[in-house]
Amino acid sequence: MFPELNSREALLETVRGLRQELDELVEQVGEERAVESGAFGPWTFKDLIAHLTGWRLMTAARLEAGLRDQEPQAPWPDHFEGGDLEEGNVDAINEWFYQTNRDKPLDQVLRESNEAFDRVERAIQELSDEALFQSGRFAWLYWTDEGLGPAVIRGTYSHYHVDHKPDIEAWLARG
């Protein structure tokens, strides 16, 4: 199910493949259906893209923190305990993403999605092999024994393919 993430090129291929998959999905859905109410509970497809982008911004922040050898700065407000997901903040962060993005036009949400992909790709290209792949290199990467690159790209890949793709496919099948 998960791609091998043992080289810089494999990381980039995975990110580019996910970008292409989402681009094709956006094309398939179309502008009118992308903003249709109630597609995913209270969320539209546009809201789901903004949600995925929000978490991809965290992926970018983690990779960019590796470039600076610093802790990542979460893309959400500090009152979420710096984004410590083990503290049960996921629902609150998801709601913050929704509230922050729900009134944005579709073209802005799509542009921001692409900009987040660009940041992720750029950081992967700029990080040293040691920073990308050495297990235990960053103390703040405490939840995994993988290196930074594989850990965060696996998370991004899984977030879409496991957590959201089945719901998207079911929604599309309903017409």
**What mean pLDDT is predicted for residues 120-129?**
98
Residue 83 has pLDDT above 50, yes or no: no
* Dist CA 120 CA 91 (whole Å): 24
% residues pLDDT > 70 (the chain): 95
Digit-coded pLDDT (tens) for 135-154: 999 999 988 999 999 999 99
Confidence of residue 89 (pLDDT cuts 50, 70, 90): confident
Contact 24, 169 (CB under 8 A): no
- Return the number of other C-beta atoms located less than 10 Å from residue 40's C-beta: 15
Contact 96, 80 (CB under 8 A): yes
Quick one: DSSP state of residue 76? Answer: S
Residue 170 has pLDDT above 80, yes or no: yes
Residue 157 has pLDDT above 90, yes or no: yes
Assigned fold of 8-174: Four Helix Bundle (Hemerythrin (Met), subunit A) (1.20.120)
Quick one: DSSP state of residue 89? Answer: -
* Dist CA 18 CA 37 (whole Å): 25
Mean pLDDT of the chain: 93
Residue 86 has pLDDT above 90, yes or no: no
pLDDT number for residue 88: 63
- Residue listed under structure tokens 């996921």: 90
Residue 166 has pLDDT above 60, yes or no: yes
Token digits of residue 36: 């249709």
* Dist CA 86 CA 21 (whole Å): 29
- The dihedral of CA 55, 23, 9, 127: what is its sign? negative
**What mean pLDDT is predicted for residues 34-41?**
91
* Dist CA 139 CA 40 (whole Å): 36
* Dist CA 108 CA 130 (whole Å): 35
Confidence of residue 76 (pLDDT cuts 50, 70, 90): confident
Of 84 and 60, which is predicted with more confidence? 60
- The SS3 call for residue 40 is strand
Token digits of residue 80: 């979420």
pLDDT number for residue 55: 96
Ranges of each domain in the chain: 8-174
